[in-house]
Amino acid sequence: MFVSHRNTIDKKRLENPAIHNVTKQVLVGPDQGWKDYVMRMFTLEKGGYAPRHSHGWQHILYIVEGHGTLFMDGKNHPLTPGSTAYVPGGIEHQLLNAGDENFVFICIVPEYGDK
C-alpha cells in the first residue's frame, strides 16, 4: 500500500541538451509496489520541452495543468487540462509547453520504459 501527495515526492530536474526546463517525479512505480508500470509526473516550465523522439514502448498521457502541444506522427495536437493521449510505440513524438504557466502532465509507461 502507498499513499502520498505530489508536493512531497522528490523532483528530478532532467539535464540533457535536447531537454529544456523539465522536472520529473515518479508518483507510483516499482518502489511503491507497482511492478509492471510507472506513473510519472512531468513539469515543463515556461519554454520547456522534451526531445522529439520515438521508442519501442507505448505511453498514456493525462494533462493536469497548463497548455501544451503534443507533436505525434507528424501533427501538432493542442493539450489542455483534462486532455488525454495514447502514444503507440515506434511513433515520433514530442511535448512542449505552449503557455506562460507550467505545463504539467502524467505519463504512464511500462516499467522498462522508465529511463
* pLDDT recorded at residue 10: 95
What is the rounded end-to-end Cα distance, in angstroms, of the chain? 24
pLDDT of 115 > 90? The answer is: no
For 18-74, how does the pLDDT look when each residue is reduced to its tens digit (9 = 90+)? 999 999 999 999 999 999 999 999 999 999 999 999 999 999 999 999 999 999 989
Q: Which cell numbers in the block locate residue 111?
A: 516499467
* pLDDT recorded at residue 49: 97
Q: pLDDT grade, residue 106 (50/70/90)?
A: very high
Domain segments of the chain as ranges: 23-113
The pTM is what? Answer: 0.95
Q: pLDDT grade, residue 81 (50/70/90)?
A: very high
CATH code for the part of the protein at 23-113: 2.60.120.10
Tell me how far apart the alpha carbons of residues 77 and 94 are, in angstroms, rounded to a whole number. 10
Residue pair 108/60 in contact by the 8 Å Cβ criterion = yes
- What are the start-end ranges of the E strands in 1-115? 12-13, 20-28, 37-49, 59-65, 68-72, 75-79, 84-87, 93-97, 103-110
User: What's the whole-number average pLDDT of the chain?
Assistant: 96
